[in-house]
Amino acid sequence: MDGISLIAGLGNPGPGYAHTRHNAGCWFLDCLQRRQTLAFRSESRFRGDLAEILIGGRKLRLLRPATWMNLSGGSVSAVTRYFDIDPGQVLVVHDDLDLLPGTARIKRAGGHGGHNGLRSIFSELGSQDFVRLRLGIGHPGNPDDVTDYVLRTPSSSDRDAIVEAIERAVDLFDSIAAGDWEKVMNQLHSSPSETED
């Protein structure tokens, strides 16, 4: 089974967005950075910040796009083209309205579910065959409220739940890097959550 060669954590740039629900993918990288002592560097050619780590004898790259969420695909595709990374070896970490806070789910391929970051990656990669780590942020209830909702800071209880889910996912980093999805799913999906879409 092919392992993962690139992990991209999605969000919007700048301190004004750092603590918003839409930046949950970046929170994952922040947590990983604390655990692994990663050194991110700004790379203009990739329109983002890139770090590298050796795991299991393989080089894994971690990307934090510096673009707006709806332009994330340009950053992700620049890295995959430069390093000749197949879409199936890419893991995209993103917030997910369809899952409750505290839920983390692995999903391979499928639709974008209205997520603008995924929509951009579909367009730029020309493929839907990458793996997603979906971090639940809950739904405001009214579709008209979604934009404001994802760009706001969650309540302390929701944030704690989201962070706890991220911590559980980072605990499985070695298995994620190896592409051992059965093990990862068994661990992550064993907690109560919304049903899969």
**Which of 22, 115, 139, 189 is flagged as catalytic?**
22
Catalytic status, residue 115: no
Distance of CA 41 to the CA centre of its chain: 19
Q: Determine whether 45 is exposed, middle or buried from the number of CB atoms within 10 Å of its CB (0-12, 13-18, 19+).
A: exposed
What residues act catalytically?
22
